[in-house]
Each structure stands twice: as C-alpha cells, then as structure tokens.
Structure 1
Amino acid sequence: MPLRNCKGQPFSHSRWSMKMHKNPKAPSLNEQSLPFRKMVQQNANAVIVKNAVKYYVPEKPILDGMNMTVPRGSIYGLLGASGCGKTTLLSCVVGVKHIDSGDIWVLGGKPGRPGSGIPGPRVGYMPQEISLVGEFSVSSALYYFGRINGLEDEEIEVRQKFLSELLQLPPANRLIKNMSGGQQRRVSFAAALIHSPEFLILDEPTVGLDPILSNNIWIYLTKITQEEGVTVLITTHYIQEAKDSNMIGLMRCGKLLAESSPQELLERFQCSSLEEAFLGLCQAQDSTMLANASEVQGVQDTEDDVLHQEDDSYKRMKGQISEYRARSIYNVSASRRFKALMIKNGIQFFRYYSGIIFAVLFPLIEVGSFFAGVGNDLNDLSIGIVNHEAGNCDDGNNIGNVWYDEENLICRFSNLSCRFLHKYGDSIAEQKYYDSMSEATDATRDGDLVGVMYFNHNFSEALQRRVEDFAFAETRDILSSEIDVFLDMGDMQTGQFMERKLYERFLEIFEDVMKDCGYSPRAGNMPIRFEDAIYSNMDDGYDYFVAPSFIIILLFFLATTVSTSLIITDRSEGVWDRSLVQGVKNGEILIAHVITQTTLIIVHVSMIMILFFPIWGLECEGSYFHVFFIMFLAGLSGLMYGFFISVMCKNHTMANYASAGSFFPLIMMSASIWPAEGIPKELRWVSYSMPTTLPAISLRAIIFKGYSLDEEEVFTGILVSLAYISILFTIVLLGLRMKS
C-alpha cells in the first residue's frame, strides 16, 4: 500500500528516498549543491553539519549521517523525540563531544580548533539538565558564567537586572538547591544569556515554564535574532512549540528527515499541523529502510557524485573560512577564567555546611579515637591466684617477711608469696583467690580471668635454698620456687601485655628482696641488660609505632574522601561540561579543584600536628617543617587518588565502593599495624609500592630518629608520594579527555 500525504495522495517512493538522505527542502540535489557552496562562500551559515556519525555503542550510531544547516541570524528549531540524538548533536556542535566521522563547522570554524571561539564565549549554552551548582545563589550563578565569558562585574550587574525582569528570576540571594524546577530552568536560561553571545543553543528551554513566560521568551528570541543578528538553535520534542522558528529540522533515529521553514513544510506536505508532517516523514523513513536495495543504491550513487563535487568546493573555501575566523575570534584570558573557578569552588565549599562540619570534626574524632583507644595500658582485667603457701594472705594483711640471720649468715624468707602478691597489687590486674587450679582454670575458660598465678606450698623455703646455694640447687627446689603463670593467649595482645607486666614487676620485687637480704640488687637481675635506646625511648609503646603510619593514612583518606565525589558531582550536575562549552579547559577546572582542596589539606595537616605534638606530647627529634612536608605530600597523593576514582567511576556508589574497598588492603599491607619486615618477602615489594608505606617509614624516621630529607629512608618516601601525585594527575587529565 503506497504512502500518502495529509490529503491522502500517494508519495513516490524514489522521491522520498532521495529527500530522506539529503535535505528534503530542496527540489533536487543538483539544485541544492550550488546554494550550499554559495552559503559557505558568503559565510551565511552559523552551523554546517555534514555526514556526521557518532557512536556510543558499536554498530548502533546515535548520529547516522546527520546533515544540517543553520543560517545566521535565525531561530532554528530542532525537533524530535527524546533519545533521537538531539542532545548528542548539540554536544558535538559546541565541541564538548567529538563525532566519529563527518564535519561540523560552527561560526566559520571547526569546534575545538585554536582561535575558533567554540568552545568559548561566542556561544551561550543551556543544556537539558539544570547544570548549576546547588550552592550557587541566583547572583553567584550569573556572576560565575559572566566571568568565565569575560564580562566585568559591572556588566554582569546590569545584565542581571535585565534578565531578572525578563525571566522573572527568584531573589538574587536564593540558592539554586532551594528553588523549584521551573525557577532553576529560568536561572539556567539566564546563565546562557548573561554574556550576550552571538550563537545561542537552548536544549529544551521551556520545559516546566508557564505559557506566558514561554511566549515572552520566544518574543525575546525573535527580537535578538532580527535586531542583533544572534543565531538561536533550540531543541524541543513539542513540535507545535517551534511554529515561530525561521527554520525547523525534523530529526529521527540520528537523521534529519526534513529542514525547512514551518510554512514551507506544511505547504509541501499539504498538512495542517507539523505533527502530521512529522508523522508522514517517519512513515517515509520506515518505508525507505525496507525499500529495494538496488533502487536506493541508484539514488545513493547520484548523491555521492554531487557530494564529491561539494567536498571539492568545500576544500577550496577553507581559506575564506579561516579569514573569517581570524577576524571574529575573541577569547577570555586563562587568569580570568581561573579566578572565576576559584570563586566558584570557594562558594561550593563554604555553603556546603555538612562538608565543613565533616572536614573539621572528622580529623578531631579520628585522632581522639586514636588517643583513647591505642597504646594505653589495659584496665579492668582479673587474674586468678592459687596460693598453696599462704592462702589469701589473711585478706592482704600478711605481706610476708624477709630478714637477715646474722648468727647463721643467711637470709630467711617467710610467706614470700604474700610479698609478691602485695607488690603486684591490682595495678596490673585484679586478684581473685581460688582454692584449686581446676576452679581457676574453669574461670579462665569462661572468660572471667586473663590467667592464673600459682604458688607452691613451700615456695618461700625452696626460694631460700635456691638463693643460698644457687649453683647446686636441687631440681625440686628450682621447681617449687617458681611462680607458675597460666595465661589466656586467645587474646594475644592481652596475654602479651600480662606477660610483660608480670615479668617486669617480678624483677623489681626480687631486686628489693635481694636488697633486704644485704645482697647487691643486681644479684636479682637477669644476665642481660638493655641500655638506653639509640633512637626514641625504651618505654615507648605500640602507639608510638602506629602513630606515624596512622597520621599518613588518615591524611591520605581524608583527602580521598573529600575529592572522590568532586568530579563526579560536577559532571553529573552538568556544571563541568557547561563550563567547557564556555571555553574553560579540563586542566583549569582540575587545577582549581586541586588548589582549593590543597588549602583544606594544609588545614588538616596543621590540625593533626597540633593534636599529636603539643597536645598528645609526641616528641619530634627532627624538623617540624620536614614532618609537615611529608604529611602534606601524603594528603596530596590522597587527593589525586580521589580524583582518579572520581574519573574512573560513573557514579557516587561505585566511587564509594572503590574508596572503601581500597582502604582495607592499604591498612593491612602498608606496615601500619605491623612492620613491613613481617610481610613475606614475595609480597613486601607490594607493600613498599603502596602510597602510604614508605611515606610512613619516612615520617617515623624524622620523628624518632631526627633524620633530614637527604637520608635515604626519608627521600624514598618523598619520591613515592611525588610519583603517585604526578602519575595519578596525568591519568586523570587523560581520562577527562577520553570522556569528552
């Protein structure tokens, strides 16, 4: 059954095949080629798209041989259903994305070429999304886009007053995140108009606006095109909305079905509405896809010849296009754009109150948790006592007795077990007395005790004989004079703590016993002596070992946590790409973020140094400046790692998974809770290659050994941090380019 127009008249299939591949506006391709070349020569077109192809998924183009021409000083309505490729086409026109094949010329030059002004201030772009920072007020949003487009603040103020009246904007101090959807779109529209661009691109600008305001916007667009020569390219899926356009393009499935003025389109297809014309074009497109291959190929061959002629003419006209571009270029200085970016970042940070609270409180909470939970002596422990020599020592009243027998020239011991128990006291663990070892052992198995101390019934006498004749002491005396300790080593740290404390206290008590006997106190010492430490202090505990690595890891993940969401947020909200359209470079945005977050890193480093050194009392043998430098580099490498995650991940959920997932391997393998020498040799190089291992070792060397930066143990950590910073920064830049 043949296709028919709005009046029921049949269409010629070959006629439709030819029109659908090219512009249906012209009566024939041969007639179209001459006007096309003439428009290029006169530079009468703001946009020329030729055979544009863009893929997101292989073998399924989102733009499929797209051809489009937008005359200067006109309103061009690009119509089509959602998903047909309109937004992708606009992204390619403004230079944010690149087509896979074909050509696009905008204002006489190719987008992205040096000096083209596209991306740049020659274009004003309102994307389909709001694409504004939620922490912006109306005023700060307009000032930001005005500044990156080269306006002085006085000009922005004047334009803001005008646009506020035209678009009925909310109060200037109202935050974007506190506005309705319609209000947000009006501010977004104003941001595109603020610098009076010569080319205005509006993607679904009137969605959510009331009819009166929409009508006023169309009146204003008509005025600036007629009086100021501005070109407006507007997209919509509401076909009747574009009736006031000078020219409309009907787009479907990545192709332009027709390109003409609304009245000419209605007359050509003898329809009363654009919807009917669009429906007929869609039917014709579907019919063409099913047409005889040989017939379509014949038309294709004819068109290829004409297009080849156009390509030759197009190449000859490049010189004239370049001349025009050179005369009309203007750019905003990088310093002006960078200043606007820094102000934007400052507004984002200082108006993100929960972020400020996190940035201040999180280090305090983390460091406070370290002080309270790591390295302190264990409390509230209980140890069982089985004393077959003196029972419970008369409820502690019996503290034993030691005296020197001058008549027999020997030292006498009586209930010496009570003296040991009295000196031990409850400072190490609370003493609980049991009548038998079985009862005490059962209590330990039940978790009520950390261990059991056992004294033999003749402990004092056996120890006395052992001291009198230590060279020839009998085995039974040796065994009976021992204090047997049975510890619960299921909790290794608690067991080792008890073992160390009981042993140290035993030596102290036994030295006092020797002194009371008139012997040299050193007679009670073990035959090994630990002198003062070469570095640090013998009394330093586990917390002193953990502190440097804790500082490095805390700074690393503080910076990572803050920066992980920055790029994702900017890109998902559309602010990043919208800034790129106005000529801002990826590198400029990234460096602005780095500087802003570097300020936060300096604050964090300063806070942590104050908390650890003056408040906690950690003594530093080296230079505090060197300590600051190592800590700062650790924070900066964490910042770059966060940016890396933010670029590689598509959304906040994946970024959070990546950040949290990398935290625990880093803790386990970075020698933070156990020395790197405890890691198997095959895996030790993995530990050393991590961003926190060698920097933590460097910081420990400065704090406890007083090393300077020229020591190998220190500068290797610096080199690792610098390597991570530079490599990750490069990857982030390349990743941002690839996403464009």
Structure 2
Amino acid sequence: MTTPTASVDRTENIVRVVNAYKSFSAGQWTLQGLNMNVPPGSIYGLLGPSGCGKSTLLQCILGTISLDSGFVEMKINKLTDVGYMPQELCLENTLTIKETFEYYGALYNMSKNKLLNKMDELNVCLQLPDKHSYIKDISGGQGRRVSLAISLMHDPKLIILDEPTVGIDPVLRNDIWSKFQTMVNEHNITIIITTHYIEEAYQANTVGLMRNGVLVEEASPQDILIKHNTETLEMSFLRLCYNQDTNRENEQISSEAVVKTRKPKQKLKNPGAIMSFSRIQALLKKNSRVCVRDYMLLFNLVVLPALQALNLCLCVGVDFKHMPIAYKNDEVKFSDCQNVKCIFNENHNDTLSCNVLNYLASHDYNLIEVNSVEDGEMSLNYPSYMAFLYFPENYTKSVQTFLADKGNYDVKSMVSVHFTKENMLFRNQIIRDVTDCINDVVENVVTYCSYYNPKLQGIPMDVNTMYGKDVKYVVHSIVSIFIAMGAFYFPSIFAVSCMLTEKLDGILNRSMFAGVTALELLSSMFFINTVIIFIQMTLSMLIVYVLFSNPVQITTGFYAYILLVILLGCIGFFFGLLIAGLSTSKIGAVYVITGWSLIQFTLSGAIWPVEGQPFYLKAVSQVLPLYVAGKTMNDIALKGWTLAHPAIVLGTTVIFAYALIFLLVLIVLGRLKKDMWVIQK
C-alpha cells in the first residue's frame, strides 16, 4: 500500500463547497447542506454507497448542475486545467483508441509529438489495449482505462474522477493509485476521486465519507481512525452512519426551510475562441468517421432515398399493367380478328370489336374470353377479374349507323362495360382506356374512309395546354413533392440520430469539458448534413429526371429548385435538432419526426390535391413548408417558370423565412433550456 503524502495546508482550498442543497424532486434531497474542502496538491477520496449523491456533487463542482442553495468556490477557472472522467464511458464506440486520443488531443490543442509521447506514457501506466482496437470491441475494464487516460492526457491541474477503478484488476488498480500519488507529489496536481472501495480510501490524503447527501466526516484516514477509535475505515463509517440515523430520525428538510444562500455560479472559462476552427476540424473528422462507420445510418441517408425514388417512379402514379378483363365477342372469334380499315365500304366484312380488343391488348390489358354474357357477369364475383366487356353480334353495323344517322341508332347494340367499384383508380383507368379506345378506333376509321359528318364533331371548345404538356401520369406531378419530402425528412433523422447519440451517451458533455461548444458541434454536423443533402439530391434527381425521364423544364428557375431543396434540408436539420434537444429517447424522437413528416406529406398535395380539402384544413396545408416548397418546385419543373416569376420569388422567400424561424427558435430554446444538449452522466 502506498503511503499518502504529508498533510497539506488547508487555508487555500482549491475546491470549496458551502452549505450545498440540491433536489431533483419535491421532498427528496440529493444534497442536504453539504460542506466540502479540497486542499491543493492532494488526493481527495469521496467515499460513499451508490446513490448517496457523489456524482451529483461532482457535477455541481464542475458547474453542469446548479445548486438550489449554497455555492461552490474553485481556484481553477479554465476548462483546460480540469480533467474529468465521468462514471459512464462517454466515448464514441466506433472510434479506435488512437482516434479517440487524436480527437481529444486536437481539442486540447496538443502537438503531434506531445500527443504521441503522452499516448506511450499512458499506455505503459494503464496497460491500454492495442491502439487500433475499436472502443466497442474492448472490455468494460479496458474501456474505463481508456476513459481514465483521456482525462489525464493534457496534464490538468485538477482531476475529477468518478469511480475510475470499477471493474479494473486489483493489481492494476494499485498501480493506478501509485500513479496518482506520483502526480500529486511531483506535479502538485489535485485529484478528487469517488469510490465505493473502502480499501482505496486509505491511499487518499483526505477522505470525505458521504451518506444521505452530506459529508458525515472529512479528514485524513488516520485522523478518522483515531477520532472514532476504530481499526478500519469501514468500522468508522458504520459508526458514523449509526450516529447520523440517530440524530436525524425525526428530521425532515422542506424546500421552504432551506435558506437560499447562493453566490453567482462560477463558470470555467474556455481559453479558446467561441468558435475555434481547430475544434470544428476535430469534430468534423470525428463525426465523419462515426457516420461512415454507421452502416445503418448511411443506408437510411443515402441508399434508402435512392430506393424510394426508384419505387416512386416504378410503382406510383403510373398506369396499371396486366389488369385482367373478361370479354365476350359475339361478332367474331378473337383468333379471326382483323383490324377494320373502312366500315363504309359496301364490301367490307371487318368488325370494329377487333380494333377495340387489339387496342386494349396493346395497352397491356390481360384479355380473357368467356363463354357467355352470364359467365362474364359472374366473373366479377371473383377477385381475378376487374371488368367485363360485351360486344353484341351487330356491333360494327350499329357503329356505322351511329356515324351516319344518330337518330336511328340502336342502343341495345352498343358495347357494354361491367365493373366493380371497390377500387376507383382501377375503374377510372378502365373507363378512360375503353373510351379513348373507341374514340380512337372511330376516328381512325373515319379518317381512313375520308368520311366527314358534322354530327361527329365534338363540343364547340378548343382545348390548349399552356403548361405541363409533357405531364401524362400522376407521378409527373408528385416527384417534386417527393424530393422535397426527402430533403426535409432525412436531415431530420440525421440530426436526431447524431445529436441524441452525443447527448444520451454523454459524449457531448465530455467534449464540452475539453472545450467544445454546442455551436461548434452543430456547425460540424451542419456541414456534414449539407454534404449528405447534395449526395441525396443528386441521386434522387438522376433517378427521377435522367433514368426515368420525368418531365422537367430547365430554366433559370432551376437554381431556385436546388436552393429550395437545400433550404428544406436546413429546415429538416433544425427541426431534428429541436426534437433532439427536447427528447430523451431516440425512439420517441424518430416517432415525432416520422409522424410530422407524414402529416406534411399527406396535406401537401402528394396523395390528393389540397383543393379537395375542407377550407379550414386547406388554410393550414397551404402554409406548411413542404406544400410551399413542393408547389414552387412543381411550378419550376413542369411550368418552366424562371427566377423572375413572382410565384417563384415568393415561394423561395417563404422557405428561407421558415429556415430562419427554425434557427431562431433553436437558439432561443438553447438559451432558455440550459441542459438542452446535456444529460448528466
């Protein structure tokens, strides 16, 4: 056992806690009038059972938790003078040990040579695993040794360690304590270390015995043994616990009884600039490695949008293929069919029903002949048939009569179409195609025969398409909304995934003690998010507009199209950060983002035009970011409107305003909710 150094002058304590009270729930005090004095150049062992408030006390000393009453004084005022090891690991598990050292070395602005020398020194002292091992692949004890090494690597003046030796081999644990003694003796470093191993406390210069939120004793191990006339610290601690229970048996402290004595909270200063390029560079390097190695995240951000673009173009808003239609043709057998050329030729023996059936077959309908009209009508009772067509025996002659003299047309000789209504889309396409087919057949026959009859003219209206002449399918009208949806949704998922990982795993909290600010982390994530947006946008547009040739008008307005996609990505990113800041659960945050995105997608006109909505819902839909961006992008792609068009200017301005509003909300909430990005570990 290493003998502790001589007693140190306590007149100038490096850390002083006075009358500290802290409660996280009504009537339950984590700290109850605690007083603590840590002399410089010593080891202070904070000993106590789990749940007695040791970690909370450390967080109050570090300033990440505010006291309800009391205050903390420190002779340290710079973050770089403090080394902190939390109780949890709080390290990126997809980085190697070497990369972890490089990350924190860059945050502490250490030179390459100094970093390498420190890695070698700590490797020998703490017996670290191979430097190329990933954090996720090493054991819990090895991980704690790496965590301890990170807190020691920059030679801080004050080291705060929350149970650093848990799960570590006893022999190595003794070596670590010997290292602590050397650091104190040779470099005048102060170490505050929490532990529940009573045997470790003998090696501390000062021991604080903590129970029920107070220090029941604070002195050197020898003084405690002498004062309580015991042979071990464990016996002293048991005697103190008994005395505490006896003295506090009927004592309860209410929040009203606590006198609010609080000095302004001392905040450790960051010696660097508010925005440090070197720290942002370190964050970019670290976060890029994490993203590249998170295959599921990459799949969701890059591959999944491309697959969805493929699915959209292949499956949504296009004509249905191979729909089975039963038919009965009393004019002629289908095998004997020939297309009609001119039915006004007295010697013709052709049948128009053949033209109709051939037309439908050329449009990929699956035509199935039945034996009778009754069989055709009964076929609709089975899910394998969608419609039934019946051509009477004199169908061609009746059409000839209709074209020549509508007044003598026999209605019973017309083609009859039977179908079910359970799917309106199927029914509408069949009606459209059959109608177009008959009109086309009649027009071709009349044209071929050079037959003209004023009665064949349509209604007196000239229809001209000014915009969107190339729009033939529903998918052409929704691809822009789909791209806008992806630009919003996937950055939201990226922001939630990365930020909540940093937050819930305590990685951001630990990085902040190395000098990182929330603004620097958000800046690095914003840069990575922008790169991902460009990759996602490029892949989606190549699939939609190049591979599947969806109509698009290339004008100056296309610059606004790209800008709208980027701005939607920013809105999605800010929205994801907002949810991450308010949430403590990844699953809950993803549910919120997915639900909100689906609501926007439903109301934006992608599934059904907003003109079909009730007026009160329509008023809401028309101000949603996805609707405004999607409509503006559609106007650019399908109508060819340019940058100078008022509608394009207005839509782009509104989306830019949305991005600013989300950013401002994020900033204001970050100032109001101080623990927005940090969960104490």
Report if TM-score (shorter chain) is over 0.5. yes
Matches within 5 A, 1:287-686: 287-290=246-249, 331-333=271-273, 334-388=276-330, 390-392=331-333, 395-397=335-337, 399=339, 402-404=342-344, 415-470=351-406, 473-474=407-408, 477-520=409-452, 524-527=456-459, 531-537=463-469, 539-621=471-553, 622-623=555-556, 624-686=558-620
Q: Determine which structure has more spread, i.e. the larger CA radius of gyration.
A: 1
Q: What secondary structure does 1:445 align onto?
A: coil
Alignment match, 1:27: none
- Matches of 1:678 and 1:51 in 2, distance apart? 66
- Matches of 1:522 and 1:635 in 2, distance apart? 58
Q: What secondary structure does 1:737 align onto?
A: coil
Deviation of 1:534 after TM superposition, in Å, equals 0.9
- Matches of 1:397 and 1:607 in 2, distance apart? 48
Alignment match, 2:6: none
Contact 2:221 2:233 in 1 (8 A): yes
- Matches of 2:343 and 2:622 in 1, distance apart? 59
When normalised by structure 1's length, the TM-score is 0.83
Q: What secondary structure does 2:418 align onto?
A: strand
- Matches of 1:375 and 1:455 in 2, distance apart? 31
Change (3 A) 1:577 1:480: same
Deviation of 1:401 after TM superposition, in Å, equals 7.0
1:691 maps onto 2:625 in alignment: yes
Aligned letter for 2:627? T
Alignment match, 1:144: 103
Aligned letter for 1:467? L
Deviation of 1:540 after TM superposition, in Å, equals 2.0
* 1:282-316: CA deviation from partner (whole Å, max 9, x where unpaired): 112211222689xx9xxxx9x99xx99xx9xxx9x
Contact 1:79 1:239 in 2 (8 A): yes
- Matches of 1:195 and 1:641 in 2, distance apart? 36
Deviation of 1:685 after TM superposition, in Å, equals 2.5
- Matches of 1:145 and 1:123 in 2, distance apart? 13
Change (3 A) 1:725 1:283: farther
Change (3 A) 1:464 1:602: closer
* Among 52, 59, 70, the residue aligned to 1:91: 59
Contact 1:697 1:713 in 2 (8 A): no
* 1:197-254: CA deviation from partner (whole Å, max 9, x where unpaired): 0000000011111122111111111122122111100001112211111101111121
- Matches of 1:416 and 1:329 in 2, distance apart? 90
* 1:429-449: CA deviation from partner (whole Å, max 9, x where unpaired): 232233433321211121232
- Matches of 1:719 and 1:202 in 2, distance apart? 52
Matches within 5 A, 1:188-267: 188-267=147-226
Contact 2:503 2:509 in 1 (8 A): yes
Q: How many aligned residue pairs are there?
A: 660
Q: What secondary structure does 1:150 align onto?
A: coil
Change (3 A) 1:732 1:204: farther
Change (3 A) 1:130 1:738: closer
Deviation of 1:336 after TM superposition, in Å, equals 2.6
- Matches of 2:23 and 2:643 in 1, distance apart? 52
Contact 1:412 1:464 in 2 (8 A): no
Change (3 A) 1:348 1:521: farther
Contact 2:560 2:648 in 1 (8 A): no
Deviation of 1:458 after TM superposition, in Å, equals 3.4
Aligned letter for 1:737? K
* Among 15, 18, 24, the residue aligned to 1:56: 24
Q: What secondary structure does 2:380 align onto?
A: helix
* Among 55, 75, 78, the residue aligned to 1:107: 75
Aligned letter for 1:226? N
Aligned letter for 1:263? Q
* 1:72-101: CA deviation from partner (whole Å, max 9, x where unpaired): 111101111111111111112112222222
Alignment match, 2:4: none
Change (3 A) 1:260 1:684: same
Contact 2:610 2:618 in 1 (8 A): yes
Aligned letter for 1:76? Y
Answer with 255-264 or 58-67: which moved more: 58-67
Contact 2:356 2:437 in 1 (8 A): no
Q: What secondary structure does 2:164 align onto?
A: coil
Alignment match, 2:5: none
- Matches of 2:401 and 2:251 in 1, distance apart? 117
Deviation of 1:269 after TM superposition, in Å, equals 0.7
- Matches of 1:399 and 1:564 in 2, distance apart? 62
- Matches of 1:518 and 1:381 in 2, distance apart? 35
Q: What secondary structure does 2:66 align onto?
A: coil
Deviation of 1:703 after TM superposition, in Å, equals 0.7
Alignment match, 1:30: none
Alignment match, 1:126: 85
Contact 1:455 1:484 in 2 (8 A): yes
Change (3 A) 1:528 1:230: farther
Contact 1:413 1:461 in 2 (8 A): no
Aligned letter for 1:625? Y
Contact 1:46 1:72 in 2 (8 A): yes
Change (3 A) 1:223 1:417: closer
Alignment match, 2:49: 81
Aligned letter for 1:577? N
Contact 1:239 1:274 in 2 (8 A): yes
- Matches of 1:682 and 1:620 in 2, distance apart? 33
Deviation of 1:676 after TM superposition, in Å, equals 1.4
Contact 2:337 2:351 in 1 (8 A): no
Alignment match, 1:66: 34
Q: What secondary structure does 1:195 align onto?
A: coil
**Percent identity (aligned):** 28
Deviation of 1:683 after TM superposition, in Å, equals 0.6
Matches within 5 A, 1:157-168: 157-168=116-127
- Matches of 1:91 and 1:554 in 2, distance apart? 40
Runs (5+) with no aligned partner, structure 1: 1-37, 109-115
Runs (5+) with no aligned partner, structure 2: 1-8
- Matches of 1:616 and 1:183 in 2, distance apart? 53
Contact 1:456 1:481 in 2 (8 A): yes
Deviation of 1:455 after TM superposition, in Å, equals 2.7
Deviation of 1:522 after TM superposition, in Å, equals 8.3
- Matches of 1:556 and 1:509 in 2, distance apart? 47
Deviation of 1:478 after TM superposition, in Å, equals 4.7
- Matches of 1:344 and 1:426 in 2, distance apart? 58
Alignment RMSD: 3.0
- Matches of 1:252 and 1:710 in 2, distance apart? 72
Answer with 88-97 or 144-153: which moved more: 144-153
Q: What secondary structure does 1:197 align onto?
A: coil
